[in-house]
Structure 1
Amino acid sequence: MSTILPNSNENEKSNSRMLRFFTQAKIGTFLHQSNIHKEKGVSARIIVQFIFALVLHGMGFSRALESERIPKHFQKDTVYDLLKNPTYNWRKFLACVGSYLVIKYILPLTSKDRDRVLIFDDSLFSRNRSKVVELLARVKDHTTGRYFKGFRMLTLGWSDGATFMPLAFSLLSSKNVASRYREMDSKIDKRTVGYHRRQEATQKSTETMFNLLDSIHPKKLGAKTVLFDSWFAYPAIISKIVKNYPLHVVCMIKRSPKIHYTYEGESYTLNKLYKKVRKKRGRAKILASIVVGLGHDDENGNEIQARIVFVRDRNRSKKWLALLTTNLAHTEEDAIRIYGKRWEIECFFKVVKSHLRLAKEFQCQSYDSMTAHTTIVFLRYMMLSLSAREEEDPKTLGQLFYMCCDELDDLRFAEALMTILEVLGSMLAEECLLTDEQINEFLDRFFNKLPGFLRNPLLNPGAA
């Protein structure tokens, strides 16, 4: 664990992928800008680095604290005091880091003709064995249809179709008091960021969407479109995004008898619209498209228009799905292609849960602690995502994750062997009365005899 601890010469010399990422992403700077700091003791950057590296070392928090290489002043309370502080603005920190990486390292290498999108989706944040977690609620997992204890993790991310970067999230409880197992801590200062996040957790997800959008700058990120699935696809929500932000919307829409669209001066449900339009013959994948009104006006008083594209459901050939785009310049193929980028966030959820120990590494009871740890998990994904962008040969994020784990193991092995060689050199000087030149010549010959897979980590211990 010495590669993540303060006052370590190895730490200063090491050039591991993890430490390069902390430098690239300006973690220390953005922690300070987000009011995340320690008044005394170990700095906030070192603590974040310690938590960040746990999964790469294959260690749990308790086991890491038992390590003999951890200084005595680095205790359990040191970490938890940072995580549970309600005054720290973790959302601002994540948005700053994600936006900086996109603007600095990704946009310069992305063609201006390539579509950059913002993606909304939610996923289950399970705490099924917990009882006293703050704002714990009974939530439904939409993938299985079952109910669990936990939260809905509403996430906003950026993608160009090749790289996904998480920018903001909110752990949503339930608006219904009867569905919550525990209320918020009554001692929380109402002036703090933590209190406002707790208030937000009991809102509707469609209201929280706009809080997340307000935390970033879409124009600086080069994003022109927002993607989401049918859970958020209401005309009022779509119209509000188009009216208040410099963004278009592409989304899946649901067949609800309560949702109506305007066509030729009449109001229709989605099913009635499908019956009215003329379908293409044969086995066409795109069945039809139609321009409709959303029933809401823009800032000029004109009704907001959108194109609905009906496509064949590939899983059920006799059924159909409907996509909506507010950009009338989009062709039917454009709408389908751009919506396909939404799959990036599904892959993101899979990686953070399967590899990066989301909701598993710390069994926190404080809402602030869960928010802080989830932010650090998202940082881990950012490192993998940026590494995948920089790799010369294609690697999955899972492969990159295991490469990072192996890299830290190699660093610790190289450090241990270098220590042995230093002791050997001092022994040769003391016992054999050799000069420094003779010892260095002996060690050089020793290095040259080693096989390459041992010699390279020793000569360059930080090489990725």
Structure 2
Amino acid sequence: MSILAQNHTDEVALLDCIQKFFAKHHVGKLLKQCNGTKEKGVPSISLLKYKLGNIFIGRSMYMQQRTGSFKEDFSKNTFYRFLNSAKTNWLRFTSLLAADIVNNGIKDLTDASRKNVFIIDDSLFNRTSCKKTELGSKVFDHTGMNYKKGYRMLTLSWSDGNTLIPVNSCLLASSKESNIIGPVKAFDKRTLAGKRRKLAQTKAPEAMLTLLDTAVSAGLSAEYVLFDSWFSNPAQITAIKRKGMDVIAMIKKSSRIKYTYNDEQLNIKEIYSKNKKRRGRSKYLLSVDVIVGKENPIPAKIVCVRNKANRKDWLAFICTDTSLSEEEIIRIYGKRWQIEVFFKTCKSMLNLIGECHSLSYDALTAHVAIVFTRYMLLAI
């Protein structure tokens, strides 16, 4: 009979699992490429392993020190300096790690004909106190349809339909200075810290393109980019198409956004009302070909379907790959739901919101990147 406690055995198994993950995907090498190194003392990789595994043990550094169970060979000051470092490029780190996992693992397990996708969405990263949190803002929550304190966590992920891998993210503050509650620190705009804060104050549709460029430069690829109506402006759709990827997105029922249909400039409501809808139990109500954009117009297909939540209502999707069938457009867009599951998992199980109480924007960025790494560890 073993005299070792069960929690000790579980902790050893956890550390072994993390060690294998780090070795297989060269995490230390990737961290070094992203300036996540120290000149002396405990190596950064040890600090990352500790932070990564804390959630699975169920105790924070604070509680470990309070109970006397903290046995690491570094101080809390060393740990927090690692998180607060402004020179570590966490955006590129998670992108490179995701690319290594996808290209050297997941793609070998799936058929070459499977359509891979990038999924873009945002979720509220709420903070109860923002007056001292750097760039803390009043941001609009799409779920509650009101303003809350914190950030919008704009996230790009990759999926093959079965496995979702988070790629990178940005904690977006408000682009309006009047809505920023916390302090705004000045950094040289040429430095990584300056670029990070500039991106944080960029509007979401523009920041989305930066996340895509970072993912592609890291070695990731996908045939389609999926997002909901909050990002489906013609300018963003045509910009993504120029990058060599097709878009499948839900579109807004806005009277201001117009498409070229039968040589007329019409909004989606006018297009819907002008056409006869399919009857019976068809999977879609209407399918039309349109032209999107003014400066660099591209052909696209709009598909309208019934809203399952309200049978009297309808939803519209746009796809820049006109060769796809209506059923295939609907099926591929269904993969977007995976990112909602990802957000729920990170918040309820991986302690995305409650674990980090730092006031530094750099530390919050590091925390989000490490939570994404935890999810990658679980996903594979």
- TM-score category (smaller protein): over 0.9
- The gaps in structure 1 that reach 5 residues or longer are 1-10, 387-464
Cα separation, partners in 2 of 1:331 and 1:218, compared to 1, 3 Å: farther
- Residue in 2 that maps onto 1:263: 261
Question: Aligned ranges for residues 345-356 of structure 1 at < 5 Å?
Answer: 345-356=339-350
- Residue range with higher mean Cα deviation, 217-226 or 41-50: 217-226
Would the aligned equivalents of 1:137 and 1:151 in 2 still touch at CA under 8 Å?
Answer: yes
Letter in 2 for 1:168: N
Describe the SS at the equivalent of 1:216: helix
Cα separation, partners in 2 of 1:63 and 1:370, compared to 1, 3 Å: same
User: What TM-score do the two structures reach when normalised by structure 2?
Assistant: 0.93
State the 1:261 CA deviation. 0.4
Describe the SS at the equivalent of 1:171: strand
CA-to-partner distance for each residue in 1:92-113, whole Å, 9 max, x for gaps?
1111101100000100111111
- Residue range with higher mean Cα deviation, 364-373 or 289-298: 289-298
- Residue in 1 that maps onto 2:53: 53
- Residue in 2 that maps onto 1:412: none
CA-to-partner distance for each residue in 1:426-457, whole Å, 9 max, x for gaps?
xxxxxxxxxxxxxxxxxxxxxxxxxxxxxxxx
- Residue range with higher mean Cα deviation, 22-31 or 372-381: 22-31
CA-to-partner distance for each residue in 1:402-422, whole Å, 9 max, x for gaps?
xxxxxxxxxxxxxxxxxxxxx
Q: Does 1:342 align with 2:336?
A: yes
Would the aligned equivalents of 1:54 and 1:64 in 2 still touch at CA under 8 Å?
Answer: no
- The gaps in structure 2 that reach 5 residues or longer are 1-10
Cα separation, partners in 2 of 1:171 and 1:263, compared to 1, 3 Å: same
State the 1:283 CA deviation. 3.8
Describe the SS at the equivalent of 1:286: coil
* Partner Cα separation in structure 2 for residue 110 and residue 64 of structure 1: 42
Cα separation, partners in 2 of 1:347 and 1:317, compared to 1, 3 Å: same
- Structure showing the higher strand proportion among its residues: 2
State the 1:305 CA deviation. 0.5
Cα separation, partners in 2 of 1:228 and 1:162, compared to 1, 3 Å: same
* Partner Cα separation in structure 1 for residue 165 and residue 300 of structure 2: 28
* Partner Cα separation in structure 1 for residue 23 and residue 12 of structure 2: 12
- Residue range with higher mean Cα deviation, 245-254 or 283-292: 283-292
* Partner Cα separation in structure 2 for residue 295 and residue 106 of structure 1: 36
Would the aligned equivalents of 2:291 and 2:300 in 1 still touch at CA under 8 Å?
Answer: yes
* Partner Cα separation in structure 2 for residue 219 and residue 45 of structure 1: 21
Question: Aligned ranges for residues 434-445 of structure 1 at < 5 Å?
Answer: none
- Residue range with higher mean Cα deviation, 273-282 or 210-219: 210-219
State the 1:280 CA deviation. 1.0
Q: Does 1:236 align with 2:235?
A: yes
Cα separation, partners in 2 of 1:14 and 1:343, compared to 1, 3 Å: closer
* Partner Cα separation in structure 1 for residue 248 and residue 179 of structure 2: 32
CA-to-partner distance for each residue in 1:150-207, whole Å, 9 max, x for gaps?
0000000000110000111000000111111023223x34432121111111111111
* Partner Cα separation in structure 2 for residue 49 and residue 66 of structure 1: 21
Letter in 2 for 1:357: N
User: What TM-score do the two structures reach when normalised by structure 1?
Assistant: 0.77
Cα separation, partners in 2 of 1:68 and 1:266, compared to 1, 3 Å: same
Question: Aligned ranges for residues 101-116 of structure 1 at < 5 Å?
Answer: 101-116=101-116
Cα separation, partners in 2 of 1:74 and 1:147, compared to 1, 3 Å: same
Cα separation, partners in 2 of 1:369 and 1:13, compared to 1, 3 Å: closer
CA-to-partner distance for each residue in 1:328-359, whole Å, 9 max, x for gaps?
11000010000000011101000000000102
State the 1:16 CA deviation. 2.6
- Residue in 2 that maps onto 1:210: 209
Letter in 2 for 1:104: N
Which of 374, 392, 401 is residue 368 of structure 2 equivalent to? 374
Which of 359, 369, 373 is residue 365 of structure 1 equivalent to? 359
Letter in 2 for 1:28: G
Describe the SS at the equivalent of 1:306: strand
Cα separation, partners in 2 of 1:191 and 1:65, compared to 1, 3 Å: farther
Describe the SS at the equivalent of 1:147: strand
Q: Does 1:142 align with 2:131?
A: no
- Residue in 2 that maps onto 1:183: 183
- Residue in 2 that maps onto 1:120: 120
* Partner Cα separation in structure 1 for residue 26 and residue 333 of structure 2: 32
CA-to-partner distance for each residue in 1:271-315, whole Å, 9 max, x for gaps?
0000112211234331110000013355xxxx3010000101111
Cα separation, partners in 2 of 1:43 and 1:66, compared to 1, 3 Å: farther
Cα separation, partners in 2 of 1:67 and 1:49, compared to 1, 3 Å: farther
Describe the SS at the equivalent of 1:231: helix
- Residue in 2 that maps onto 1:428: none
State the 1:220 CA deviation. 4.6
- Residue in 1 that maps onto 2:169: 169
Aligned residues: 371
Question: Aligned ranges for residues 399-438 of structure 1 at < 5 Å?
Answer: none
CA RMSD of aligned residues (A): 2.0
Would the aligned equivalents of 1:65 and 1:76 in 2 still touch at CA under 8 Å?
Answer: no
Cα separation, partners in 2 of 1:208 and 1:15, compared to 1, 3 Å: closer
Would the aligned equivalents of 1:61 and 1:362 in 2 still touch at CA under 8 Å?
Answer: no
